[in-house]
Amino acid sequence: MESVLRGAAVYLFLMVVLRASGKRALSQVTTFDFVLLLIISETTQQALLGEDFSLTNAFIVIITLAVIDQGFSLLSRRWRFFERLTEGLPLVILENGLPLEDRMRKENISREDILEAARENQGLERLDQIKYAVLERHGGISIIPKA
């Protein structure tokens, strides 16, 4: 039972930390982010298993994490508010060529990020060519060009 509680606690803690880090942080992984992820995984492994390194305990923890993840998916499909809580909502960060600075600052988005997405997705070169830029739930930026 201790393994199940440890697994649940670590899963919930990581979900909160990763959700608080912002959408954009999850879509742009740098070398430093990769190293940090490795360190977090090693720390998490120690927290999950404690002193019991048996295969049985490892299997219990893995099953616990998988069940929690599937449960969250089920709750997200069933209740929209739960999906918004765990996944967030798309966020308009530029409207009619004008950056919404407060939203961009909160999500750690720069004008260059928007322009990069505009070039890659639509072949646009300037902000004034964009009707909307939307920060999607997964961290990518969608561009809707002006007609």
81-131 pLDDT per residue, tens = 888 887 788 999 999 999 999 999 988 899 999 999 999 988 998 999 999
Would you state the pLDDT for residue 114? 94
Would you state the pLDDT for residue 128? 92
Q: Token pair for residue 23? A: 């959408």
Looking at the chain, the domain(s) classified CATH 3.30.240.20 span 91-145
Would you state the pLDDT for residue 32? 67
Q: Token pair for residue 10? A: 């670590």
CATH match for 91-145 among 3.30.750.200, 3.30.240.20, 3.40.50.300, 3.20.20.140: 3.30.240.20
